[in-house]
Amino acid sequence: METLLEVAIGYALVCVLVAMVFCAIRLVRGPAAHDRVLALDTLWMCGMLLAIVLGIRFGTQIYFEVAILIALVGFVSTIAMAKFLMRGEIIE
């Protein structure tokens, strides 16, 4: 018999994967560049959440370190993309 935590983790995994699929669809079909940037921002956030949920599921620390790396790279890439869309250049 499954415990409540195992059921909740399974439900969270399914929800995060569904959100990732919707973000990927918006990334491909987005009508404007701003929609694609927002979808990419949400996609890396979902990837970070997926790593955290897998870290809870398997009980290892490596997934949490991966989640921190995803958060740092995602934040920097979102700032760079927003700056590029606003000004047309990244480095001033």
Alpha helices (H) along the chain: 4-29, 33-58, 62-87
Among left, alpha and beta (phi > 0; psi -120 to 50; other), residue 65 is alpha
Structure tokens at 6: 């195992």
Would you say residue 26 has pLDDT above 70? Answer: yes
Instruction: Encode pLDDT of 66-75 as tens digits.
Output: 999 999 999 8
- pLDDT band, very low/low/confident/very high, at 92 (cuts 50, 70, 90): low
Report pLDDT for 81. Answer: 84
What pLDDT, in 10s, does the model give residues 51-63?
999 999 999 999 9
Q: What is the pLDDT, as a whole number, of residue 44?
A: 92
Q: pTM of this prediction?
A: 0.85
**How far apart (Å, rounded) are the C-alpha atoms in residues 78 and 83?**
8
